[in-house]
Amino acid sequence: MEYIPTPWREEYIRKICKMSDCIFCQALKLKNDRKAFILFRGSHNFIVLNRYPYTPAHLMIAPYKHLASFEQAEKESTDEMVDLLKLSLKILRKKYRPHGFNTGMNLGRSAGAGVADHYHLHVILRWTGDSNFMPIVGKTKTMIEDLETTYNRLYPLFQKVKPGS
């Protein structure tokens, strides 16, 4: 098996391991969607930019309720999460024109969850050839835009949608 190093994730992992508060709950407590990079608020879930993205416009969909177990979540919440995934794919496909997506959850620390106590769904845009030599040889991750730019591009599109629709 070949292992591919991802050194840009070290800062995030070290920070998460030291944190006592949940990043999703912290984002909600800010009461400032721009500062927290919250793009959309539904009835049960919200969509937020990942501060340490794998690719530009890497989103996470998380419930308001702090809960580790997806299977214990209420049906209304998980149904809405899937609806928000569909909305996110539609908006991201239109705005960024990716060749594909990775979507999914890492449930539990051993499964790779950086935040194991608050389940969430990742939406990662992918392009053919989006992995290059920079992270491996140069120990540097390149991004085509910063989080502010991504937020400014996506926020108006998400705001055109009415919660619950």
The residues assigned a catalytic role are 120
CA angle in degrees (0–180, nearest 5) for 39-43-49: 20
Reduced 3-state DSSP string for 122-135: EEEEECCCCCCCHH
List, edge to edge, every strand of the sheet that includes 121-126: 38-41, 45-49, 59-63, 121-126, 100-104
Please give the structure tokens belonging to residue 32.
């400032």
Q: How many CB atoms lie within 10 A of CB 27?
A: 21
